[in-house]
Amino acid sequence: MTSTQHEVRNQPGDRQHGKIQKKVWIKASADVVFKALTNAKDLVRWFCDRASCNAREGGEFIAHWRTRKSSQKGSAVFTRIVPGKELELRWIDDGRGTQPEHSGHTLSYEIRRKSGMTEVVMLDTDDSVPDEETYSFLDQGWNSVLLELKDYCERKERSLRLRSRAKSRP
């Protein structure tokens, strides 16, 4: 098992500038990964409890999360979409409250096909500078989230291959 294939790689982050960067290798097509990041039915399988998603530039993404005693809602606007390759969202409300209209909390993904796998580079940038404890919490949280994305996409890819094989049999 190599670390690039089975876990999230920490890329140079920058707490002083509110940046967290991660890289994960996924044994699934770029299309499966892109759909997992932009389709509401896929998002609820690995990211949140409920979602609505209009995956186009200017379109809105709304996510709901449940905890033991409460729920949380976040919303973002897609600011850049290149199908199968990249996407960027600007958070309007990241669950901590509504952001100013020109807030600098963005989440971006680069999706690259390499060596029969898909490399995903995630960058979470926030103009507000978190304290060390909050930064560490968010940094570790992204590890878990990206592993969920990886697991979901790899299961979905296996399922699609099995269905394709079953259809091609006489």
Q: In this predicted model, what pLDDT tens digit does every residue of 76-103 receive, in sequence order?
A: 999 999 999 999 999 998 665 555 555 5
Cβ count near 55 (within 10 Å): 18
Does 3 have pLDDT greater than 50? Answer: no
Region 8-37: mean pLDDT is: 86
Instruction: Output helix, strand, coil percentages for the chain, rounded to the nearest 5.
Output: 35, 35, 30
Helix residue ranges, H only, 39-131: 40-46
Region 1-7: mean pLDDT is: 46
At 122, the amino acid letter reads M
The total number of residues written for the chain in this structure? 170
Residue of 126 and 108 predicted with greater confidence: 108
Task: Give the CB-side neighbour count of residue 6, counting CA atoms within 13 A.
Answer: 3
Q: Which CATH superfamily is domain 3-168 in?
A: START domain (3.30.530.20)
Region 112-129: mean pLDDT is: 91
Helix residue ranges, H only, the chain: 3-6, 30-38, 40-46, 132-168
Look up the pTM and report it. Answer: 0.84
